[in-house]
Chain A
Amino acid sequence: MKINPRYYPAIIIATYVIFLLLGILLGFRPERGGEGHGNNTLIQIAFTALETLS
């Protein structure tokens, strides 16, 4: 399927923003006040779910 070159920059920027938000939603963000280790809430939930399933 052909893509109009006009939309190519938008595709790149949108992809970057979507994946960046995905990373932040997965919990990969700094804690306020320094080089924190964040809370990977979604990842912890995923691990708990996997452990429960297994």
Chain B
Amino acid sequence: MSAAVREKPFSLAKSRRIIQWLAVIGTFVLGLRHIMPGEASRGGSFDSFCAFGGIETLLPYLSTGHLLKSTNLLNFSVLIATLGVALVAGRAFCGWLCGLGALQDFIAEWTRKLFGERNHIRGKQSKAILPLRLPTVVDRPLRYAKHFILGIILFASLYTAFPPLREFCPVRAVFSLKMTPLLWLALGIFMAGSILVERFWCKYLCPLGATLAIFNTISPVRLVKDTNHCNNCGRCDIECSMGIADVPINLDHPECVRCMECLNTCLRDGSLTIQIRNKENAI
């Protein structure tokens, strides 16, 4: 008698979780590597692996030919890679490859478990009291803060020796293992914020996210809704970690991190599909 071999169904959420863990571990290893004796002098500082470091040092490099201290040319390679992903799939870097974004997803999950949700049922409103969903009247203006921060950093980068965000950067606070009083403060704000609001840093403060947001409307790989299949049940709205309202009509929203949790949650086959933009499906 031959045993029937059943192929396991593919889970996009599981793949994402694995990639996110690899991103967190990889960033942690970069931080660990940098505090090893003799390692600090090899291949540049911890900051030189940061995509946003490339943005911070770009204007000084173009205007004076010199890079900001603690950055080097590798920052531009990492920035090119991040912008490459953004050109192809919008803010997918934030949803899949960013170590800090991954950590916020994990914190939100652990917080929900700690504050009243034993088992998460996909598409069902969480009973946990934390993380909160801020009311629109507070949430919407706060979302512009990251664009404001980006502007200030770009301006300040022309007048500073080190990258302006360096002393407050939560990536350094979490992963670099070289703490200063300001980094402890940044870590505290990051942790408290992530417990209170899901993806707090991405939603309100991340200047890299603000940069990548513009690519969501032009990237060719995107989600498309089939109006014949979607019944606007709202399951995808509940699962959206970025708190986007009416997900099916906001699939190219600048806040979308292309995590595909909406696609995972949708029960109606064919309602949401990943497509390459062409003349027919372009908005």
For residue B41, CB closer than 8 A to chain A, the reply is yes
Q: Tell which of A6, A33, A40 touches B73, judged by Cβ atoms closer than 8 Å.
A: A40
Q: Which chain B residues have a beta carbon within 8 Å of chain A's beta carbons?
A: 10, 12, 15-16, 19, 41-45, 48, 67, 69-85, 88-89, 92-93, 96-97, 221, 260, 263, 273-276, 278
Interchain CB contact under 8 A, B85 and A19: yes
Most buried by A among B72, B89, B263: B72
A29, B83: Cα distance in complex, Å: 17
Q: Which residues of A contact B73 (CB under 8 A)?
A: 27-30, 36-38, 40
Given contacts A6-B10, A9-B15, A35-B45, contact A28 B76 (CB under 8 A): yes
For residue A45, CB closer than 8 A to chain B, the reply is no
- Nearest opposing residue in chain B for A3, CB measure: B274
Interchain CB contact under 8 A, A35 and B85: no
Please tell me the size bucket of the interface on A: 20 to 34
- Nearest opposing residue in chain A for B281, CB measure: A1
Given contacts A23-B78, A29-B77, A30-B48, contact A8 B19 (CB under 8 A): no
Q: Which residues of B contact A15 (CB under 8 A)?
A: 84-85, 88-89
For residue A12, CB closer than 8 A to chain B, the reply is yes
Q: Tell which of B42, B48, B274 touches A5, judged by Cβ atoms closer than 8 Å.
A: B274
For residue A13, CB closer than 8 A to chain B, the reply is yes
Query: CB-CB contacts of A7-23 with B at 8 A, as 1s and 0s?
Result: 01101110111111011
A18, B260: Cα distance in complex, Å: 22
Q: Tell which of A2, A13, A22 touches B80, judged by Cβ atoms closer than 8 Å.
A: A22
Please provide the 4 A-B residue pairs with the shortest distance between their CB atoms, ordered closest to farther: A19-B84, A23-B77, A23-B80, A20-B81
Interchain CB contact under 8 A, B19 and A2: no
Given contacts A12-B89, A23-B81, A29-B77, contact A35 B275 (CB under 8 A): no
Q: Which residues of B contact A32 (CB under 8 A)?
A: 42-43
Q: Which residues of B contact A36 (CB under 8 A)?
A: 44, 72-73
Q: How far is the CB of B8 from chain A (nearest CB, A)?
A: 12
